[in-house]
Amino acid sequence: TEDEIMLFEREMKEFWIKLKSIYGPEQVNQTLALRDSCKESIKALSEKWSKKLKEGDLMIDKIHEYSNEILQQSQRVSEKQEHLTEIKSNLNQEEQQKKDLTDSIQELKEELMKKKEIISSKNQANKERVERLCKSKVLFEERLGLEIRRIHNEQLQFIFRHIDHKDPDKPYVFTLSINEQGDYEVTSCTPPLDCITEFQQKVRETNNFSAFVANIRKAFTALSYK
């Protein structure tokens, strides 16, 4: 407090007065010089340590700054590592998907090749069957008065004449094709016959084509007498 400071200053004055009365001026001056020297040393030492403390504070701040920077870099590295792990996982998934897709494509190719072979085999069989029918043309024309024409979509048109005794040139026609299953199929019949479906089913079962044509001619003949 102010009172204590005033008391301390008063005691210091009394101390110097007593000191001067005991010692001579020379000794007092030496003591004062020693005191001043101590003050200077203490001041210099204080300034030195103050500077050191400031440098220490700066060093601590730098260390904190470096520590924070290292921590941030570590976090960034960790994030990049996680990102790389995610990318690697995605690449592995894409590789697996690519492999699955390649396998599926290969399976589809193999299946397509099998289907092509089957279709090619059926087409070849159908062509051979049509060729056999065409080779029978002369026989049918001679014995049954039949004309056979090849028309669009690999169909055969069978034209009978000499059926109607009133009009021998009147045509009786049916058109035949071979469907995707390789079976005979009548696509048109003029005039229409109620029994054509039955004849078609029978030739599919027996594969006796001559009997099939003969039965249709008989049906046309029977129809001409109605």
Residue 56 counted as domain residue: no
| 31 within some domain | no
Domain that holds residue 215: 145-225
| Tens-digit pLDDT profile for residues 64-103 | 888 888 888 888 888 888 888 888 888 888 888 888 888 8
3-state helix, strand, coil in the chain (%, to 5): 75, 10, 15
Q: What is the pLDDT along the chain (226 residues), one digit of tens a residue?
A: 667 777 878 888 787 777 777 766 666 666 667 667 767 776 776 787 778 778 878 888 888 888 888 888 888 888 888 888 888 888 888 888 888 888 888 888 888 888 877 767 766 776 776 676 666 666 666 666 789 899 988 899 999 999 998 899 999 999 999 998 889 999 999 999 999 999 999 999 999 998 999 999 999 999 998 7
Q: Is 169 found in the same domain as 139? A: no
Do the domain assignments include residue 129?
Answer: yes
Is the residue at 55 inside a domain?
Answer: no
Q: What is the pLDDT of residue 87?
A: 84
Query: Are 126 and 103 in the same domain?
Result: yes
Residues 191 and 207 in one domain: yes
On whether residue 201 sits in a domain, the answer given is yes
Q: Is residue 131 part of a domain?
A: yes
Number of domains in the chain: 2
Both 135 and 151 in one domain: the answer is: no
- CATH number of the domain that residue 210 is part of: 3.30.457.50
Residue 161 located in a structural domain: yes
Q: Are residues 151 and 187 in the same domain?
A: yes
Q: Are residues 167 and 134 in the same domain?
A: no
User: b/e string for 140-166 if b means 16 or more Cβ within 10 A?
Assistant: beeebebebeeeeeebbbbebeebbee
SS3 186: strand
Same domain as 139, residue 149: no
- Do residues 107 and 134 both lie within one domain? yes
Are 156 and 135 within one domain? no
Say how far apart CA 88 and CA 101 lie, in whole Å: 20
The β-bridge partners of 188 are 175
Domain boundary among 79, 114, 143: 143
Is there a single domain that holds both residue 216 and residue 152? yes
